[in-house]
Amino acid sequence: MNYGLSERKIKQMSDTYAFRRGKRYVAAKKVTLRNYQSGDLLVEAAVQGEDLFTVTVRVKEHGVDAGCNCPSLAMDQSFCGHIVAVLLAMHHVQVYGKLAGNRPLIRPFTTTRQTEDAAVTAYLQTLSKTERAKIRFDVSGSAIAMESITAQQRFIISPAYFDRLLQTRDWLRNLADIWLSPLLKQRLVSGPPTVELALDREGGALELLVTFIYQGVRINPLQETDWLGRDVSIEGAVLRYVTESGFFERNGRYRLEEEAAEYQFLKGWLDPRVVYGKLVVQVTESIRQSLPNGPFHPRIDVETTDRLDWLTFRFSMDGIPEVELKQVLRSLVTRKTYHRLKNGQYVSFETRAFEQLQRLFQQLETTERDMLEASIRVPAIANLKHLVGASFLHLHADLMERWLEVKNGRDIPLLLPQALHQQLYPYQRAGIQFLVNLAARDCHGILADEMGLGKTIQAIGYLETRPPGRTLIVAPASLLHNWAAELARFAPAKTVYLLAGSRKQRLQALRDLPADGVFLISYPSLRADMDAHQKIEYDLAIFDEAQHFKNPTAQTAVRLRRLRAKRRFALTGTPLENRTDDIWSIFRVIFPSLLPDLRTFQDWSHMEIKRFLQPFLLRRTKQEVLHDFPTKRLSHYYTELGPTQKKLYASYLAKLQLDTLRHLDETKREDRIKLLAGLTRLRQICCDPALFVENYTGESTKLDLLMTLIEEKIAAGHRILIFSQYTKMLARIRERLAERQLTHFVLTGDTPIEDRVALCDRFNAGEVDLFLISLKAGGTGLNLATADTVILYDSWWNPAVEQQAADRAHRLGQQSPVEVIKLLTKGTIEEKMTELQDKKATMIDAVLTDRATEILTLRELVHLLEPPLQPQKKPD
Q: What is the number of structural domains in the chain? A: 6
Residue 736: per-residue pLDDT: 92
Instruction: Output DSSP code: residue 14.
Output: B
Do 720 and 785 belong together in one domain? yes
Residue 466: per-residue pLDDT: 93
Query: Per mean pLDDT, which range of 27-36, 323-332, 392-401, 684-693 is the poorest?
Result: 392-401
Whether 417 has a pLDDT exceeding 50, the answer reads yes
Mean pLDDT of 504-514: 90
Residue 842: per-residue pLDDT: 56
**How confident is residue 663, by pLDDT bands cut at 50, 70 and 90?**
low
Domain CATH number, residue 851: 3.40.50.300
Do 87 and 35 belong together in one domain? yes
Do 175 and 227 belong together in one domain? no
* Position 237, amino acid: A
Domain boundary among 625, 646, 666: 625
Do 30 and 132 belong together in one domain? no
530: burial class by Cβ within 10 Å (0-12, 13-18, 19+)? middle
Of all residues in the chain, what percent carry a pLDDT higher than 90?
A: 21
Residue 566: per-residue pLDDT: 94
Residue 105 falls within a domain, yes or no?
no
Residue 866: per-residue pLDDT: 61
Mean pLDDT of 144-159: 89
**How confident is residue 112, by pLDDT bands cut at 50, 70 and 90?**
very low
Cα separation, 162 vs 183, in Å, equals 15
Do 621 and 636 belong together in one domain? no
Residue 104: per-residue pLDDT: 32
More confident residue, 66 or 106: 66
Residue 197: per-residue pLDDT: 85
Query: Per mean pLDDT, which range of 88-97, 381-390, 846-855 is the poorest?
Result: 846-855
Helix, coil or strand: residue 497: strand
Whether 290 has a pLDDT exceeding 70, the answer reads no
For 530-562, how does the pLDDT look when each residue is reduced to its tens digit (9 = 90+)?
Answer: 999 999 999 999 999 988 888 888 888 899 999
Residue 202: per-residue pLDDT: 80
Q: Following DSSP, what letter does each residue of 116-168 receive, concatenated?
A: -HHHHHHHHTT--SSS-EEEEEEEETTEEEEEETTTTEEEEE-HHHHHHHHHT
| CA 692 to chain CA centroid, nearest Å | 41
Whether 872 has a pLDDT exceeding 80, the answer reads no
Residue 293 falls within a domain, yes or no?
no
Contact indicator for 194, 201 with CB cutoff of 8 Å: no
Residue 270: per-residue pLDDT: 42
Mean pLDDT of 839-850: 54
Residues of the domain holding 21: 7-96
For 691-731, how does the pLDDT look when each residue is reduced to its tens digit (9 = 90+)?
Answer: 888 888 888 999 999 999 999 899 888 999 999 989 999 99
For 787-797, how does the pLDDT look when each residue is reduced to its tens digit (9 = 90+)?
Answer: 989 999 988 76
For 160-205, how does the pLDDT look when each residue is reduced to its tens digit (9 = 90+)?
Answer: 888 888 878 888 888 899 999 988 988 899 888 888 888 888 877 8
Residue 104 falls within a domain, yes or no?
no
Domain boundary among 139, 166, 186: 186
Residue 850: per-residue pLDDT: 39
193: burial class by Cβ within 10 Å (0-12, 13-18, 19+)? buried
Residue 868 falls within a domain, yes or no?
no
| Mean pLDDT (the chain, rounded) | 80
Cα separation, 587 vs 569, in Å, equals 9
Residue 728: per-residue pLDDT: 92
Nearest one of 113, 111, 164, 162 to 135, comparing CA atoms? 162
Q: What is the CA radius of gyration of the chain?
A: 42
For 85-95, how does the pLDDT look when each residue is reduced to its tens digit (9 = 90+)?
Answer: 988 888 777 76
For 309-354, how does the pLDDT look when each residue is reduced to its tens digit (9 = 90+)?
Answer: 777 777 777 767 777 777 777 777 767 767 777 766 767 776 677 7
Residue 527: per-residue pLDDT: 92
For 467-497, how does the pLDDT look when each residue is reduced to its tens digit (9 = 90+)?
Answer: 999 999 999 888 888 899 899 989 999 999 9
User: Residue 600 contacts by C-beta under 8 Å, 6 or more apart in sequence?
Assistant: none
Do 706 and 778 belong together in one domain? yes
**How confident is residue 874, by pLDDT bands cut at 50, 70 and 90?**
very low
Residue 370: per-residue pLDDT: 60
Residue 59: per-residue pLDDT: 78
Domain boundary among 358, 392, 426: 392
Do 467 and 489 belong together in one domain? yes
Contact indicator for 537, 566 with CB cutoff of 8 Å: yes
* Position 480, amino acid: L
Whether 279 has a pLDDT exceeding 90, the answer reads no
**How confident is residue 286, by pLDDT bands cut at 50, 70 and 90?**
low
Whether 6 has a pLDDT exceeding 90, the answer reads no
Whether 751 has a pLDDT exceeding 50, the answer reads yes
Do 19 and 126 belong together in one domain? no
Do 776 and 665 belong together in one domain? yes
For 568-599, how does the pLDDT look when each residue is reduced to its tens digit (9 = 90+)?
Answer: 999 998 877 667 888 899 999 999 988 888 88
Question: Where are the alpha helices (H) located in 256-384, listed in sequence order?
Answer: 259-268, 285-290, 325-333, 352-363, 368-371, 380-383
CA dihedral 551, 554, 558, 563 (to 10 degrees): -80
User: Residue 602 contacts by C-beta under 8 Å, 6 or more apart in sequence?
Assistant: 580, 581
* Position 100, amino acid: A
The terminus-to-terminus CA distance of the chain in angstroms comes to: 103
Do 750 and 784 belong together in one domain? yes
**Within a 13 Å sphere around the CA of 740, how many CA atoms are in the beta-carbon half?**
15
Whether 98 has a pLDDT exceeding 80, the answer reads no
Residue 328: per-residue pLDDT: 78
Whether 298 has a pLDDT exceeding 90, the answer reads no
Residue 756: per-residue pLDDT: 84
Residue 401 falls within a domain, yes or no?
no
Whether 79 has a pLDDT exceeding 60, the answer reads yes
Nearest one of 492, 541, 547 to 520, comparing CA atoms? 541
Residue 871 falls within a domain, yes or no?
no
**How confident is residue 779, by pLDDT bands cut at 50, 70 and 90?**
low
Residue 710: per-residue pLDDT: 92
**How confident is residue 806, by pLDDT bands cut at 50, 70 and 90?**
confident
Residue 146 falls within a domain, yes or no?
yes
Do 373 and 510 belong together in one domain? no
More confident residue, 639 or 373: 639
Do 414 and 368 belong together in one domain? no
Of all residues in the chain, what percent carry a pLDDT higher than 70?
A: 80
Whether 273 has a pLDDT exceeding 70, the answer reads no
- Please tell me the pTM assigned to this model: 0.57
Residue 366 falls within a domain, yes or no?
yes
